[in-house]
Structure 1
Amino acid sequence: MAISAVIPVIDISGDQTEVARQLVQAAEDHGFIYIRNLGKDIAPAAVDEAFDLSKKIFDSPLEEKQRCTIQTNNRGWSGMHSETLDPKNQKVGDFKEAFNFGEFIDGKAQQPLPSPIAPYEPRFNAFADSCHALCTKLLYLLGLGLDVGDFFSSAHATSKGTSGSILRFLRYPAAESTSHSADDVRAGAHSDYGSITLLFRLKGQAGLEILKKDDTWAPVPVCPPGTEDDPSPPILINIGDLLSYWTNGLFRSTVHRVVFPADGGAGGGVAGESNSGTRYSIAFFCHPAGSTLLEPVPSERVKNFNLPEGTPNANPYAERKVMTADEHLYMRLKASYGTLYDEKKK
């Protein structure tokens, strides 16, 4: 059985100054963080409903999903192999299907929706709003921990303008029903493009791995030790590229992937998790207003930090030049959907 990644589990219901300190330390040391005891932020019932809605999306007729094919605004449906998250190393595109919701305006999705899920538009909007609110809270706490106040959270205020934030539903086909080689992956190795990501997973469904500082891969349990009896699995948070830019690499935008794993206890994977059956996950990628400049925050801790030369897993895009959030997003999307962007679809 593979040795699981060691990722901190933070109870965010505690003293907020202490929670802020813990979040900053975890962002620096790991880039991935479990959070639990969310209170009213996102109830377990809301997560359960979101996964039920996810199945309605992917069970929609193919022609309905194709009518909503993803465009260069990063919204819509993408089928098997249409995205390649690690184009330098993948011979075949990702073994997954996805549906991206962009920002809602006045409760309405600004994109086509498959007819079977159109009646549930308010529920998708409500879940997206809850995710954004939780991200705003976490970003404020990270700013508090760096002594920069609301620097991060204010950049993500909807009043600042449109952003690239995405609520993404994912379905990975069952390993036993998919022809694949030993080198194929469900989602190629990558760091996330935004500021912070919320990842929701279902108990027992294996696959996620992170690249550790020693340049080896480790599986990430859905339920880390001590959370097995929680009403729902803890939300997995990860730091994205933009927080790495803003902190000059102090916060780690950790590389991760989704693989076709061995069953837990059978020579690999996590005990109690399996690669049999279809795998579902939901991610909320939080982005600031598109015009936001990605320059270092006025933090002494950031100012005094020097990224060790040759550090494995350092964010490869942190070139220490000022670009906007939208410019960075476009750069990353074009690398994953090159053909789509070359065709310049609208």
Structure 2
Amino acid sequence: MPVPTISLHDFDNRRQEIIDELMDASTNVGFFTLANHGISPEDVQTAFELSKQFFALPDEVKSKTPLNGKNAGWEKNTQVRPSTGTADQKESIQLQFARMEGLWPADEDIPDFRVKAERFMRQIRDLSVKVMECFAEGLGLPLNTFTEGTVDPGVGDSQDVLRLLHYHSTEGKTFGSNFWRAGAHADFDVLTMLFQRDGEGGLEVCPGRKVVGDFGMGQNWLPVEARQDRIVCNIGDQLMRWSDDRLKSTYHRVRLPEGQESRGPRYSIAFFNQARTDSIIQGPQKKYPPITGGEFIAEAMAKNRMQSAEIAKKAALEDADKVASAIHFVPRHLQAAA
């Protein structure tokens, strides 16, 4: 089954049709793309230009706002996926509505960065409200189940994240067989909304995951076309749990360029809707025990750190350039299948 495209054109009059399409996509694939979504092409282009401005800065300038352990700040080549044992070939800056003290790039480096970024974040959040209300209605839950659980009413407990991503050029470089721009993973949020640039592809998805938290992946990877006029959306682990596994959080990855594809850089922008710190995540059938949004994120990040610690210890004993392009450490949970 291909990744479906869902048009939001004439939303109010087509609401039930759109809900049916969203539910079908989210229960069978876990991914879909949105067309006619209402965010203007000019605003999307402005966001990409802001991203390119930031990543063009010298590393010593970007490092003034380092990743802070609370899912905000800049990182480069530090994300090791437990599914692969290799470092993603990218850098990113993660921005939030809260917990951003000292983490906004300075106006002296990029004028009005915060103003422009927050404006775009609000646009995506407002669009996501429509989609999350459709999910609630499709599941037979109160309309505000996921919006009240994610959108900060002004108390500063939002955990939503906007992530600007820059995948490095691969021109003139060679890599081992298990290297990726982003290794296979499932998101641990409620709903991810991803913007891509035309022709900068590589995103692939693998439907078939059954329950939250497993490493089950099939062998059939579906490509997702890179189009700047569409938003790629996927269910995260929080919503899979919140829906008692009805809506599927699907593994996905970004492969390195192949064949005649461009070896140049790739830029994307992801918005992660996440449950507020004190929101309770529990589905109507109570398949899983209740957990707060804050606890969920803390557990997910701790699990990832523990799984990556073994890999990091091994990497420290090897030449850095070799680790970045030639060595693949097999994580313990995958060794039996290797």
TM-score range, shorter chain: 0.7 to 0.9
1:281 aligns to 2:278 (yes or no): no
Gaps of 5+ in 1: 224-231, 267-273, 298-302, 304-317, 342-346
What 5-or-longer segments of structure 2 have no aligned partner?
209-217, 310-338
Q: Distance in 1 between matches of 2:104 and 2:230?
A: 29
Task: After the TM superposition, list the runs of 4 or more consecutive aligned residues in structure 1 that deviate by more than 6 angstroms.
Answer: none
TM-score for the superposition, normalised by structure 1: 0.79
> Which amino acid in structure 2 is aligned with residue 328 of structure 1?
F
Please tell me the residue identity of whatever aligns with 1:288: A
The answer as to whether partners of 2:129 and 2:147 remain within 8 angstroms in 1 is: yes
Structure 1 residue aligned with 2:144:
150
Written as runs of structure 1 = structure 2, the 5 A alignment for 1:38-57 is: 38-39=37-38, 42-57=39-54
Per the alignment, residue 102 of structure 1 pairs with 96
Given that residues 97 and 170 in structure 1 are in contact (C-alpha distance below 8 angstroms), is that contact kept between their aligned partners in structure 2? yes
Of 76, 83, 99, the match for 2:79? 83
For 1:91-144, what per-residue CA distance to the aligned partner results, in whole angstroms no more than 9, with x for missing partners?
x21111000001159xxx534233322532211110011111111111011112
Choose the corresponding residue for 2:56, options 51, 56, 59.
Answer: 59
Deviates further, 275-284 or 211-220: 211-220
Q: For the aligned residues, what is the CA RMSD?
A: 2.4
SS of structure 2 residue aligned to 1:280: strand
1:160 Cα deviation from its structure 2 partner: 7.1
Q: Is the 8 A contact 2:91 2:167 kept in 1?
A: yes
Distance 1:319 1:175 in 2: 44
User: For the structure 1 residues 189 and 340, does the alpha-carbon distance in structure 2 shift closer, same or farther, using more than 3 Å as the test?
Assistant: closer
Paired position in structure 2 for 1:308: none
Within-5 A mapping of 1:309-328: 320-328=288-296
Alignment of 1:123-142 (within 5 A): 123-142=116-135
Per-residue deviation at 1:259?
1.2
The code of the aligned residue for 1:30 comes to V
Q: Which residue of 2 aligns with 1:291?
A: 278
| SS of corresponding position for 1:257 | strand
Cα deviation digits, residues 177-231 of structure 1 (max 9, x gap): 44421211111111111100000001111211111335322221124xxxxxxxx
**Do the aligned partners of residues 134 and 35 (structure 1) sit closer, same or farther apart at CA in structure 2, a change above 3 Å counting?**
same
Q: Distance in 2 between matches of 1:187 and 1:208?
A: 9
SS of residue paired to 1:158: coil
Q: Deviations over 1:274-330 (max 9, x none)?
A: 242100000000112111121113xxxxx5xxxxxxxxxxxxxx9823221111112
Aligned counterpart for 2:66 among listed residues 66, 69, 79? 69
Instruction: Write the deviation string for residues 51-105 of structure 1: whole angstroms up to 9, x where unpaired.
Output: 000011111121111121101111100012x111x22531x21111000001159
* Equivalent residue letter for 1:334: A
**Structure 1 residue 120 corresponds to structure 2 residue 113:** yes
CA contact (8 A) 2:82 2:308 kept: no
**Cα separation, 1, equivalents of 2:166 and 2:291:** 33
Q: Letter of the aligned partner of 1:113 in structure 2?
A: W
Equivalence map 1:1-346=2 (5 Å): 6-14=2-10, 15-39=14-38, 42-80=39-77, 82-84=78-80, 86-90=81-85, 92-103=86-97, 109-115=100-106, 116-148=109-141, 149-159=143-153, 161=155, 162-213=157-208, 214-223=218-227, 232-263=228-259, 274-297=261-284, 303=285, 320-337=288-305
Q: Look up the equivalent residue of 1:112 and give its one-letter code.
A: L
Q: Distance in 2 between matches of 1:275 and 1:193?
A: 30
Alignment: residue pair count: 294
The alpha carbon displacement at 1:332 in A equals 2.0
Calculate percent identity across the aligned residue pairs.
28
User: Take 2:181 and 2:97, find their aligned partners in 1: how far apart are those partners?
Assistant: 26
